[in-house]
Structure 1
Amino acid sequence: MRNLLLSGILCCSLISMSSVYAQKSVSPKETPKFITNVEGVKEYSLKNGLKVLLIPDASQSNMVVNIVYNVGSRNEGYGEKGMAHLLEHMLFKSTKNLGDIKKMLSDKGGNANGTTWLDRTNYYEVFPSNDENLKWSIQMEADRMINATILQTDLDKEFSVVRNEFEIGENNPDRVLQERIVSTAYLWHNYGNSTIGSKEDIERVKANTLRVFYEKYYQPDNATLIVAGKFDEQKTLQYVGQYFGAVPRPKRVLDKTYTIEPAQDGEKFVELKRAGESKNMGALYHTVSYADKDYAALDALGEILTADPSGYLYKSLVETQKVSSLYFWQPTVRDASYMYFGFAIPNDKDIKATQDIVRAELDKIITTKYTDQDVSRAQAKIIKQIDAIKNNTISFAINLTEIIGSGDYRLGYLYRDAVEKLTKEDIQRVAEKYFRSNNRTVGIFIPSKDEQRLKPVEYTDDQIVALTKDYKGKALEKEVAAFEASIKNLKQNLTEGKLTNGAKYGLIKKEIKGGKVQANFSFPVSNEKDLNGKSDVGGIMAQLLKTGTTTRSKEQIQDRLDQLKSSIYFNFDHQTLSVYVNTYKESFKEVMGILEDLLLNSTFPQNELTKTIAEYNTYLEGNLNDPQSIAFTEIARQTTKYPKGSIFYTSTTQEEIDAFKNIKQSEIVDFYKNILGGNNGFGSVVGDLDAKSTGEILEKTFGKWNSKSKYERAIPTYFETQKLDKDIITPDKENAVAVGRVSFKMDRKNADYPAFVMANEILGSGGFLSARIPMRLREKDGISYGAGSFIDIPVSNDVASWSYYAFLNPTKKSAVESATKEEIAKALKDGFTAEELKSNLVSWQNERKTSLGNDNTLMRLVNTYLQYGIPLEDYDDLESKVKGLKVEEVNTVLKKYLSLDKMTSIYAGDFNKK
């Protein structure tokens, strides 16, 4: 966000443009021209150059409007580093025609965001599907395309917010290392620059400079508008023609970027020394543009090398505990990309020796002989990921941002097709071509002779047009049935059942795109006595449930799930095992059979236990001096006083590390055999499934699975909070965190609950950063990148709390502390206004309606009903009670439960910084 130098002529042309827009936006001036339909993505265009993509999905109750501009850090020049990202922030301020964008987004609720990266910037809004939201979103995006105010006063506040965002990233060793490696690998191309930009450029840019950048790139001929979900297609085209059609085609011509990164002529090495507790290593290889046919083969090779448990690098490095974890990624970009490998190294390992070991393993990539099984395994995993995104229309529309930034939305289909056609010869070829040491950045320059240097391949716009213009895609899938997002409709489509052992379930009959099926099961087990001192054992046990059974190896389990495009996840917390299943209608029975095998026949190999503990502890070691981890851990420790060993006890990070080191395989097995069981369980399934057969499948999976430990629900103890302000110094950390908490007694049946929900909404949680705390800290004072509040009001007990948080520069600690407490004190003394209640009520209702369109929300509501007997109607009842509130009731309840005299506050950061 930055650029300007407005001459009088530019000012005049801008005024003229605004008046034209205001005049032409009264009625449709143009009907978008239909171009093509590729697998349900309908492409249109306007005469001004705007590309429009419509992706209808009647099964959704929400819609998304996403606009993508082909501008990112790649387009920034000298002194402009971070300008595209800064401009993204500024476009949430105001426009000449509509005014305060952020307030309007807040009032309407829903979800909205903007993101910037190497080749593109996007803005999107997810709202409940209705004509008003559709029309407003299109009108708003058209207005801020050319009519953003970009005031110096707004910029003066926002640059410090962006700087704080920069500082948060500086606290992550792996992220900083990756940034340094990338910048070293790219000698000339702007991909070597961080999108968030230079701290100095961010702080010094002026609004007039920012405006020049804005007027150059934020134009219809440089943008793609996407509308997806449930919407009226004809009205959408009408609104697009009305609002975007009124925007003139710009007279300027965008120059093409022409910098090509030269072939690297030797291995490079960078050593980074700075504060931090974890040891990390990275390796980068220059690769190709997303449009290149080799991109898919490289992605597959990355999976073949790093996948847990089958990857070649995984086996040679993680299995042998030389590193605790590894990952790879290849950015989806317009120009020649790169593949990056990241390695986490345990603190007890010598990083220099490990570096040599890793480099030796990387050198084997060229000489390894890859197999057909390697290819099919990688294909299954990648296609599973592609289908998972494709069958979630909202996510698919947002995900198209990256592909559009790479040149054209159809490149995503070409990539999929290329993945499906891969052979082991393709994998062998790209391994030998790109993974040479002289194309790698991890070390120092070494002169050598006869190097086979790789020069990146340039793809012109004409080449991309040639690749994509005639692409038709696969046959269209059948349209799915509409599903109304309402409690009434949820009840009408809910079938309840009970298994032989007493476990309860609910089937939500809903047709989801692609035949997708989701399930969420919870299994409360045992009692406080039997679980004492076993929290860490339970957590590790859950992570090991997919590492092998008496009938399947870990590799076989993962391979089959990938082939079925399915996943199973486990988590154990307090006294509940949670199970999450994502699959498809035709695979549901087999996937549940795999789940049954995991629950009944897991073996917990010692080497998997060793690897898992090493990975966890390496991660935890990185948090030992992390302000955010420290602050949230310490607030829990200060506000609850459970004895060590209790399932509610909050361990320090070091205590967790020490506890994990002492976990024995026999403890895992004992927990699995004697504690786990499904006889007190409950869960829900959502998908287009037959009720009878689903019940039979669930009966087979869980019906005879019983715990040997007597179940008694553990009830937390109420601890009254005390007034406390505690500083924790974290040396040489660029970011700091503040968090505060007040405890009180309340459950969701309490008569004060509806009023307290709205009190929290107005004070710190509601809207799009428009509640009092974020408005004061971020919008008014510009001293925090993120600030707000949240509540924890339980269903089944009365141990409740209200908390606030803020991320800040350590030098702003006093300002943040004063501002936060001033806002709380002001609310307690003077109360909220009726207008605040009214505006926050609207956004709160819209957020709930948006949430109700989410399948996870439907399952959560059903699970709460199954566990506690809370009627589904309570969801609507709460809204009725909130709508009937008077502002006096909200103010009374706020004063009843909140008090600065009982507030515990923790501040973590390097407060010695000046």
Structure 2
Amino acid sequence: MSKKSPFRWLLLAVAFLSIQQYAVGQKIDSKFSKIKEMGGIQEYTYLPNGMQILLLQDNAAPVVTVQMVYRVGSKHEVTGNTGSTHLLEHLMFKGTKKFNKESGTSIDSKLTAIGAQMNATTWNDRTNYYETIPSDKIELALDIESDRMRNAFLLKEDKEAEMTVVRNEFERGENNPNAVLGKEIWSTAYMAHPYHHSTIGWRSDIEKMPIEVLRNFYDTYYWPDNATLTIIGDFEKKSLFKLIDKYFGPISKAPHKMPQPYTEEPQQYGPRRVVIKKPGQQGVLSVAYKIPGTLHEDMPALTVLGEILGSGTSSVFNRSFVDTGIAFYGYSSVSNFQDVGLFTTALGFSAEKDHEAVNKQLLQVLDSVKTNGVQQKDVDRIIAKLNAETVLYRDGSGSIASELTETIAAGDWTEFVTASDKLAKVTAADVNRVAKKYLVEDQSTTGYFIPIAPGASETAEEAPANFWEPGNQKQYYRYPQGEKTAVLPSKAVGEDVYLALPKTKGDEKVARKTVAGIDVISKKTGAKDFVTVAASFPIGSYLDPNNNEMIPSLTTQLLKKGTLKNDKFQFSQKLEKLGVDINVSAGAYNVSISFKCLTKDVETVIDLLAEELRYPLFDAKEFELIKQQNIGGMKRGLTDPGTMGRIAMLQNLYPKDHPNYTFDIEKTIKDIENASLEDVKAFHKRYFGPKAMHLVAIGDVETKPLYAALTKAFKGWTGGEEQELPTIKVEASMAKTTVVTIPEKPSAEMFIAQYTGIKRSDKDFLPFFIGNHIFGGGFSGRLMRTVRDEDGLTYSIGAGHTGHTYTGGHWLINASFNPELFQTGLDATMAQLKLWVKDGVTQSELEAKKSNLTGSFKVGMATTAGLAGTILSFVERGLEPDYIYQYPKDVEAVTLEEVNAAIKKYIDLDKLIIIKSGSLDENGTPLK
């Protein structure tokens, strides 16, 4: 007998294993039924439990967004459990069988450890949970989403703690006149349909809802056959199917049919009205009309009508109300909900104006539009704008996932793909028809917000709101998003945002070249068909207490109001057709510029940018209008606890001649009133120009046409100055507590601060930054985990270091509390602060934070805007663009000894500045 080769047996074993793996693969694939494919998105049904799956593969960057959309929102709630969906959104982060704080595997800690961008949001028709993560961590995301789908703890003690967090979120919204008015309008417009209820719920339901009600709601709606798993970015489908099967396979479909609301809104017979009188600094008028749901055939025309009426310089409201000085702002918005909606129009104006008179003027303008119609050229311009914005908005997997969420909620995700085609078919006749059909008095609800002086019945002077959620149907987040507040000339620079640029597939080097006197940095990424530009030039030498601090801001605002070549309407319409908004703003040290455009439009947009910067019209009438709008904006801050508290903090930390000092609102208003057009022209002549300008272009960018466009547009311009910075000595302040009393505000703001003198370039900066981030940065910071998550005292608390880019900065803690809980919140915060200073941080905390920071580098690759802004911030400080590669190494090099030494060196518990701002008396006691 001949011997059989052992190699032959090995081949047979390998072949057998391959056949087994193929069979397993075939078996898994058979569980996924492909439904359709459109626009690169593939829809599947996971047959074992009916879960819908949407996949959009893009392997250009090592980042992926995993999102679970549940088709349940506030419309599924009834009286007694309003706010259930939102409260569950919070509780589903508190713990599951596999991911919980007790075992050291909480959702927050697991995701922040890998640098994830994560959150959850609730709205009328849906709830979504999402994380944008390095793509090699996709299994973790699927594990988390599957576990909280059916294994959330939903403990009574967690609900009690989280209730006060949500209540504080509710109270923060009650500080905002626009949010209050919007809630009243929706509840008045819809008497029967559950859109009547605000997404966050009524306060009494938030406070009293039993945990059994929440568990029942969870067991009713949170099942795979009521969910859509959306995965966008860098993945391989075959391995992804295996992971989905692994984690979602054990979950069955719901044991019941998913209940849906069946209440229909009855016919409205006549106009409705709501009037709110509360302390405030602005008058608001809003008129809303009933419209159909998102998928209705009239919605594209209504969308165009909304843009023509209330969006941009050429809009009807801007021409009729803002340009004439009647209102500080005007807008219109179209809700996008599944069942029914509102077409909302609104004006913000001086409270000394009569609401009835303004309302009459608004209705006259709307009647004129209905009678005279709109022109086809305006319709074409708006369609071109919206279609371009569709491409530009889809910058990164997170943005795409967010947009898909709303089309899923509407009932047909393919609207994500087909919406542009539907818009393209809209004609002026369509717009005129829907205006006459829907802007009908008998289907309207009018809302007045009449501000009253605290303790009086007469109206106060007005100011426009700078925080406004279109339609006022705000979607609520598990974690706080960036808040928009009154625009103040604060010179404090925000805390650095660190992104990075790891080597990826097809990675290309950063290019750098001087073009027409401009330092141009560019990088081609995986972005398709669009480019993001971030630029700046220095104005630091203007920093002088004898100069009018509002001149830089007024100058940049006036740039949009026309050039020597095009009036403001011609100029704005050229940009609108391209879907582009050129943002130019002034800070303490730099004028900043940014825009995003289609790659094919780069030359045109750069030409328009140069025209705006080089040849502004500086019209005297427009200048006076801008001054009045700014004065209105400042006045709003007088009754905002956050704005007034921040001003008090900075005034206690810095002398008046320091760049980080902020003057009283009254002083700022006087500066605006005293500003002259000659001052603006002189500032422009001295500081504007390519000298010392940096420009960063990221995305689908080609250097040759970019350089050619810049050369052509900026040729012959030699203006500008090098950055010159004042040196000002600051003595650390002694301990002091200041109370800023603002009556009838249900949420108060706390600031704890100390001057450190740390500059961004100092060797202590990074150790202190890391130590402080462990203490109060992000979801997993100690302050959020204790004062918020354990004690349930606030919706938002955090610590940061700021004002440090070019000069010594300061450290601060900021939180919001119900006035009745303010002292408790302050005590809880101080307890954590004392522990942090006394004991420092641990080695395990340091390693976790390093992992978080380095993991976020890959996530930072997800958007061109984030990358462009980060590179610009580096080169402004004199660093090379390639510092994005060095930064992770610098983070890893920081030692525990350096971190704890920095904490003790810069935080003196005996010299803290404490600010209490809100409805508190001089002793910090809640006002009655």
Question: What is the TM-score of this pair, normalised by structure 2?
Answer: 0.87
User: Which is further off, 138-147 or 757-766?
Assistant: 757-766
Give yes or no for contact 1:525–1:707 (8 Å, CA) kept in 2.
no
Q: Report deviation, 1:45.
A: 0.7
User: Which is further off, 278-287 or 817-826?
Assistant: 817-826
Describe how 1:343-492 pairs up with structure 2 within 5 A: 343-442=347-446, 485-486=501-502, 492=508
Q: Report deviation, 1:622.
A: 1.9
The one-letter amino acid of 2:794's match is S
Which residue, out of 262, 265, 274, partners 1:261? 265
The residue matched to 1:71 in structure 2 has which SS? coil
Equivalent in the alignment of 1:608: 622
Which residue, out of 660, 665, 675, partners 2:687? 675
State the alpha-carbon separation in 2 of the partners of residues 858 and 98 from structure 1: 32
Which residue, out of 758, 763, 773, partners 1:746? 758
Deviations 1:402-431 (A, max 9, x none): 111111111233432221100111011101
Q: Report deviation, 1:872.
A: 4.5
Describe how 1:120-131 pairs up with structure 2 within 5 A: 120-130=126-136
Equivalent in the alignment of 2:19: none
Equivalent in the alignment of 2:891: 882
Equivalent in the alignment of 1:771: 781
Describe how 1:318-329 pairs up with structure 2 within 5 A: 318-329=322-333
The one-letter amino acid of 1:761's match is H
The one-letter amino acid of 2:594's match is Y
Distance 1:874 1:361, change over 3 A: closer
Equivalent in the alignment of 2:522: 507
Distance 1:563 1:308, change over 3 A: closer
State the alpha-carbon separation in 2 of the partners of residues 746 and 647 from structure 1: 14
Equivalent in the alignment of 2:74: 73
The residue matched to 1:271 in structure 2 has which SS? strand
State the alpha-carbon separation in 1 of the partners of residues 153 and 501 from structure 2: 37
Which residue, out of 547, 559, 567, partners 1:553? 567
Aligned residues: 842
Equivalent in the alignment of 1:819: 828
Equivalent in the alignment of 1:828: 837
Distance 1:106 1:510, change over 3 A: closer
Q: Report deviation, 1:569.
A: 0.8
Give yes or no for contact 1:82–1:195 (8 Å, CA) kept in 2.
yes
Describe how 1:76-225 pairs up with structure 2 within 5 A: 76-99=77-100, 100-130=106-136, 133-225=137-229
Equivalent in the alignment of 1:459: none
Equivalent in the alignment of 1:572: 586
Any stretches of 5+ residues in structure 1 without a counterpart? 1-23, 445-482
The residue matched to 2:550 in structure 1 has which SS? helix
Deviations 1:165-224 (A, max 9, x none): 000000000111111111111111111211000111111112121111001100111111
Describe how 1:237-248 pairs up with structure 2 within 5 A: 237-248=241-252
The residue matched to 1:819 in structure 2 has which SS? helix
Q: Report deviation, 1:525.
A: 3.3
The residue matched to 2:564 in structure 1 has which SS? coil
Deviations 1:489-541 (A, max 9, x none): 9995211111354x31212122412x111111111137237894233121021
The residue matched to 2:732 in structure 1 has which SS? coil
Give yes or no for contact 1:538–1:572 (8 Å, CA) kept in 2.
yes
Equivalent in the alignment of 1:757: 769
User: Which is further off, 374-383 or 218-227?
Assistant: 374-383
Query: Aligned residues: percent identity?
Result: 29
Distance 1:393 1:780, change over 3 A: closer
Equivalent in the alignment of 1:727: 739
State the alpha-carbon separation in 2 of the partners of residues 744 and 723 from structure 1: 14
Describe how 1:855-874 pairs up with structure 2 within 5 A: 855-872=864-881, 874=883
Deviations 1:551-573 (A, max 9, x none): 11222222221222322110011
Q: Report deviation, 1:599.
A: 1.3
Which residue, out of 891, 913, 918, partners 1:904? 913
Distance 1:690 1:381, change over 3 A: closer
Give yes or no for contact 2:381–2:577 (8 Å, CA) kept in 1.
yes
Q: Report deviation, 1:896.
A: 1.1
Equivalent in the alignment of 1:447: none
Q: Report deviation, 1:123.
A: 0.4
Report whether the alignment pairs 1:784 with 2:798: no
Equivalent in the alignment of 2:44: 44
Equivalent in the alignment of 1:312: 316
Any stretches of 5+ residues in structure 2 without a counterpart? 1-23, 101-105, 449-498, 921-925
State the alpha-carbon separation in 2 of the partners of residues 87 and 296 from structure 1: 34
Distance 1:891 1:713, change over 3 A: closer
Deviations 1:212-263 (A, max 9, x none): 1001100111111100112222222221122123211112011332211122
Report whether the alignment pairs 1:592 with 2:606: yes
Q: Report deviation, 1:322.
A: 1.3
The residue matched to 1:366 in structure 2 has which SS? helix
The residue matched to 1:567 in structure 2 has which SS? coil
User: Which is further off, 603-612 or 700-709?
Assistant: 700-709
Give yes or no for contact 2:61–2:505 (8 Å, CA) kept in 1.
no
Equivalent in the alignment of 1:493: 509
The residue matched to 1:281 in structure 2 has which SS? strand
Give yes or no for contact 2:584–2:593 (8 Å, CA) kept in 1.
yes
Give yes or no for contact 2:60–2:505 (8 Å, CA) kept in 1.
no
Describe how 1:624-663 pairs up with structure 2 within 5 A: 624-643=638-657, 648-663=660-675
Deviations 1:430-472 (A, max 9, x none): 011011111111179xxxxxxxxxxxxxxxxxxxxxxxxxxxx
State the alpha-carbon separation in 1 of the partners of residues 761 and 678 from structure 2: 43
Deviations 1:90-114 (A, max 9, x none): 0001111333323322333311101
Deviations 1:588-627 (A, max 9, x none): 0111111111112110223332333333333322221110
State the alpha-carbon separation in 1 of the partners of residues 387 and 729 from structure 2: 48
Report whether the alignment pairs 1:800 with 2:809: yes
State the alpha-carbon separation in 1 of the partners of residues 861 and 430 from structure 2: 45
State the alpha-carbon separation in 2 of the partners of residues 30 and 807 from structure 1: 52
Distance 1:366 1:258, change over 3 A: same
The residue matched to 2:570 in structure 1 has which SS? helix
The residue matched to 2:771 in structure 1 has which SS? helix
Give yes or no for contact 2:81–2:213 (8 Å, CA) kept in 1.
no
Give yes or no for contact 1:301–1:431 (8 Å, CA) kept in 2.
yes
The one-letter amino acid of 2:511's match is T
Distance 1:107 1:691, change over 3 A: closer
Q: Report deviation, 1:826.
A: 1.2
State the alpha-carbon separation in 2 of the partners of residues 83 and 562 from structure 1: 41
State the alpha-carbon separation in 2 of the partners of residues 296 and 577 from structure 1: 38
State the alpha-carbon separation in 1 of the partners of residues 522 and 722 from structure 2: 28
State the alpha-carbon separation in 2 of the partners of residues 173 and 335 from structure 1: 27
State the alpha-carbon separation in 1 of the partners of residues 701 and 854 from structure 2: 31
State the alpha-carbon separation in 2 of the partners of residues 685 and 788 from structure 1: 32
Give yes or no for contact 2:329–2:348 (8 Å, CA) kept in 1.
yes
The one-letter amino acid of 1:808's match is F
Deviations 1:134-177 (A, max 9, x none): 11111110111011010001001000000000000000001111
Equivalent in the alignment of 2:103: none
Equivalent in the alignment of 2:703: 691
Distance 1:103 1:527, change over 3 A: closer
State the alpha-carbon separation in 2 of the partners of residues 341 and 535 from structure 1: 34
Coordinate RMSD, CA, aligned: 2.4
Distance 1:552 1:885, change over 3 A: closer
Deviations 1:267-305 (A, max 9, x none): 111111112111111110001110101011011001111
